[in-house]
Structure 1
Amino acid sequence: MIQRRLTGIDAARGIALLGMVATHALPLYHQETGEPTLTGLVFSGRSSALFAVVAGVGLALLTGGSEPHDARTVGRDRRGIAVRALLIALVGLVLGGLETTIAVILFHYAVLFLLALPFLGMPLRRLAVWAGSWLLLSPVLAYLLRGWLTGAMAPSQIAGNITWEAFGTPAVLAADLFVTGFYPVLQWLSYILLGLVIGRLALTNLAVQAGLLTAGVFAAAAAKFLSAYLLGELGGFQALTATESGQRWPLARMMEVNLSPVEQTGSWWWLAVSGPHSNTSLDMLHTAGTAAAVLGVCLLLTRARPQLLLPLSAAGAMTLTLYSLHVWVMTIVDQQNPQLEPLPVYWIQVTFFVVLAVLFQRIEARGPLEFVTSGASRLARGKAGRGAAPARQKR
């Protein structure tokens, strides 16, 4: 029997969406003092990580949740997910062609879906080992590759978002996509794998929901404390300020908000950093921990009242449409009205998105892009896929 939709997962996805909107529409630093804003301190790095972790949860639920589909059905699931990924990649390329300052995540998101395909039929324990190992080792490999790529390739990064033109320089595209770009897929696969592990748990179970909250808070706090000890007591921060990047950038402030512009080469101490978008093991452990905690809270709050977080869960059920609309809106704002006050720009978007999402839910309709991707995915799975044994949990 198919159980009701887990609206807590939709709500977590809605929080990720609105958090990403905040980091795009609101300043991350105070203009006068240069100090991080509340938006920068709370949402930067954590919102996009939550988005990726919940994507992994969604893939797990699409393939059976806590009772995974058999091998034959998983094969059909893979076809459907692959088609979904290709359509998301197309949307990402279209948005990447806009003159926007937003680092569009969708093309990377699609590649992560494709890279996750081999893991979909994996038993939970083996999957957990892969997830933990990937989180620990991928930043080390990325550090080694980053130093080599930046020295061997000029440029080693796409100037802006990925567009059709980027395919004309495949080596630069691959370097940017997997290692040197804003959302390096090599490390970000950790979020998808951790989300798959979470999605394989019995998410309707009270102990699991509370466990996600507890374990998430512990992991997030432990990552920050360990990073502070390594950088402070053991002298890691002093070593980083002696590197070329450390002398060029205000590292202390950037470690609080966004380290993506910083070229993390010249010292192994970069791996001890936990700042947003540093993509180290400690950064990913912290942000994955906050993601698990948010999921736990949302599942607990909607356990008895599924519609308690309706504004968030409705928005979370059509994030592809709303995210794309947001990028388009911000492009218009940045080009035609760059002097608009950020706060009204943010709240007008949030209000419109929530109202639109609730209206779509009331008429039991999917968002336009969700309708297309879901329909194409079902077609790719084939008729046999529609008759497959249902999962106990439904995304």
Structure 2
Amino acid sequence: MHTMPASRRLTGIDAARGVALFGMMSTHVLPLYVPGTVEATWTALLFAGRASALFAVVAGIGLALLTGGSTPHRDRTLSADRRGILVRALIIACIGLALGGLETNIAIILFHYGVLFLVALPFTGLRAGALAGWAAAWLLLSPVVAYLLRPPVSATVDPPALGDNPVFEHFLVPQTLAADIFLTGYYPVLQWLGLVLVGMMIGRLELARLGVQLALVGGGVAAAVGAKLVSAQLLGPGGGLAALLQTPDGSRYPLEAMLDVGLGGVDQSGSWWWLAVSAPHAGTPPDLVHVAGCAAAVVGLCLLLTRRFPQVLLPLSAPGAMTLTLYSLHVAAMSVADQLEQLPDPLLLLWVQILVAVGVGILFRRLNSRGPLELLTSGAAGAAREGVIERQR
């Protein structure tokens, strides 16, 4: 959720960010289960877990582009880049904390984004090959670490959970805040750093090359489909689902239906078979590999579609260039809608917000301007970066 100088922008990356924005908006507004049933809606099947993961991957691409693209910066320039990213991360985190005070059912991602930028700083000087190795290891191993850590952490932290979006007051219970952000919350940084690393690896490639764009689509689809097939094999013929149905929470919830929508509220402990599921936001190896593959394929497709005609995806790329502002407006609008005695028709509410976002994005594009929050973050980050450079001269 950040911007870069117009000369360095790739319209396809903005378009992919726009897909993520509208996908997340859809999951926030539309029902994820068919009313009166436990059957997943098309919204859940298309966007649940994938849209927010696409945001994380594109954020990693942005970090790579900010630090040199295919040729990572070194020494003093990299130090200045890191200072700018640090300031950017702190501002985004503060915006997330401010939005967390609104009454809304949305799991706001911005504070976690800020933390993800901070923990990604040590990786900003690496090339594509090294990032690919780190990303692969992180996607496969961090869920195992999380599985081992969650029970003892949950048992020792008091209170055991935030119970809501992070706000400034939660710094009074730092252990609970840290546990939620890194391990037990909706967007656990421990596992989600792998998605940012995937994005950073992608951002180190020659993204304007046709071969790279085709490889992103083909490789992404292969990874996404392969992860689902592996999960299905482990849960079905492998006996994993039958074992999970014998666990306390597996027998309490409609687990088979929830695998298509998400396992929110389910205690994923007591059986190693939980690591075989690929449900949205499960944070398991199949889930992370699947959503990372989907994100890579979307990025590659958007780059392909805008290769010859950069404006062909303008309804996506224009709002995608100012997602920090538009996401914040969306959260505020949903907070207001949630307080109404009679909720508007969800589909109408979604389309109104999408059309407003597209209109605002195109307007700012025509004015050759960034969104207000993008100006704030980029301006502060740029000043911090230039300050480091000036002191080094």
TM over 0.5: yes
Answer yes or no: is the 8 Å Cα contact 1:220–1:288 preserved in 2. yes
Selected match of 1:94 from 94, 98, 109: 98
SS of the residue 1:256 aligns to = coil
1: CA distance, partners of 2:83 / 2:158: 37
Answer yes or no: is the 8 Å Cα contact 2:29–2:349 preserved in 1. yes
Q: Any runs of at least 4 consecutive aligned residues in structure 1 with deviations exceeding 2 A, and if so which?
A: 2-5, 150-156, 383-386
Letter in 1 for 2:143: P
* Alpha-carbon shift at residue 382 of structure 1 (Å): 1.4
2: CA distance, partners of 1:68 / 1:191: 19
Q: What TM-score comes out, normalization by structure 2 length?
A: 0.96
Could you say which residue in structure 2 is the equivalent of 1:104? 108
Answer yes or no: is the 8 Å Cα contact 1:134–1:190 preserved in 2. yes
* Alpha-carbon shift at residue 385 of structure 1 (Å): 4.8
* Alpha-carbon shift at residue 198 of structure 1 (Å): 0.3
- Give runs of aligned pairs for residues 52-67 of structure 1, distance below 5 A: 52-67=56-71
Selected match of 2:382 from 374, 378, 381: 378
1: CA distance, partners of 2:265 / 2:281: 9
How many residues align? The count is 386
Letter in 1 for 2:66: L
Answer yes or no: is the 8 Å Cα contact 1:321–1:368 preserved in 2. yes
- Give runs of aligned pairs for residues 104-253 of structure 1, distance below 5 A: 104-253=108-257
* Alpha-carbon shift at residue 70 of structure 1 (Å): 2.0
Selected match of 1:319 from 323, 334, 343: 323
2: CA distance, partners of 1:251 / 1:317: 38
Letter in 1 for 2:83: R
1: CA distance, partners of 2:218 / 2:317: 22
Could you say which residue in structure 1 is the equivalent of 2:3? none
2: CA distance, partners of 1:182 / 1:5: 30
2: CA distance, partners of 1:3 / 1:80: 19
Q: Cα gap change, 1:141/1:72 in structure 2, threshold over 3 Å: closer, same or farther?
A: same
Selected match of 2:357 from 349, 353, 357: 353
Selected match of 2:348 from 340, 344, 347: 344
Q: Cα gap change, 1:238/1:338 in structure 2, threshold over 3 Å: closer, same or farther?
A: farther
Q: Cα gap change, 1:327/1:180 in structure 2, threshold over 3 Å: closer, same or farther?
A: same
Q: Cα gap change, 1:61/1:39 in structure 2, threshold over 3 Å: closer, same or farther?
A: same
Could you say which residue in structure 1 is the equivalent of 2:83? 79
Corresponding position: 1:45 with 2:49: yes
After TM superposition, the structure 1 stretch with the greater mean CA deviation from structure 2, 68-77 or 364-373, is 68-77
Could you say which residue in structure 2 is the equivalent of 1:362? 366
Name which structure has the greater RCO, CA cutoff 8 Å, separation 6+. Answer: 1
Letter in 2 for 1:250: P
Q: Cα gap change, 1:109/1:338 in structure 2, threshold over 3 Å: closer, same or farther?
A: farther
Selected match of 2:35 from 31, 34, 44: 31
1: CA distance, partners of 2:148 / 2:352: 44
2: CA distance, partners of 1:385 / 1:221: 45
SS of the residue 2:260 aligns to = helix
2: CA distance, partners of 1:173 / 1:194: 26
1:62-103 Cα offsets, whole Å, 9 max, x none, are 111011112210100000000000000110000001011000
Could you say which residue in structure 1 is the equivalent of 2:261? 257
Percent of paired sites with the same residue: 59
Letter in 1 for 2:18: G
Letter in 2 for 1:194: V
Corresponding position: 1:308 with 2:312: yes
2: CA distance, partners of 1:122 / 1:71: 12
Letter in 2 for 1:311: P
Answer yes or no: is the 8 Å Cα contact 1:378–1:385 preserved in 2. no
Answer yes or no: is the 8 Å Cα contact 1:97–1:163 preserved in 2. yes
Q: What TM-score comes out, normalization by structure 1 length?
A: 0.95
Q: Cα gap change, 1:203/1:110 in structure 2, threshold over 3 Å: closer, same or farther?
A: same
Could you say which residue in structure 1 is the equivalent of 2:271? 267
Structure 2, unmatched stretches of 5+, are 1-5
1: CA distance, partners of 2:7 / 2:386: 23
Q: Cα gap change, 1:235/1:319 in structure 2, threshold over 3 Å: closer, same or farther?
A: same
After TM superposition, the structure 1 stretch with the greater mean CA deviation from structure 2, 102-111 or 260-269, is 260-269
SS of the residue 2:339 aligns to = helix
1:371-392 Cα offsets, whole Å, 9 max, x none, are 0000000000015759x9xxxx
* Alpha-carbon shift at residue 208 of structure 1 (Å): 0.2
* Alpha-carbon shift at residue 248 of structure 1 (Å): 1.7
Letter in 1 for 2:175: A
Letter in 2 for 1:90: C
Answer yes or no: is the 8 Å Cα contact 1:156–1:180 preserved in 2. no
SS of the residue 1:104 aligns to = coil
After TM superposition, the structure 1 stretch with the greater mean CA deviation from structure 2, 240-249 or 76-85, is 240-249
After TM superposition, the structure 1 stretch with the greater mean CA deviation from structure 2, 23-32 or 152-161, is 152-161
Answer yes or no: is the 8 Å Cα contact 1:79–1:380 preserved in 2. yes
Corresponding position: 1:294 with 2:275: no
1:83-133 Cα offsets, whole Å, 9 max, x none, are 000000110000001011000000000000000000000132222111111
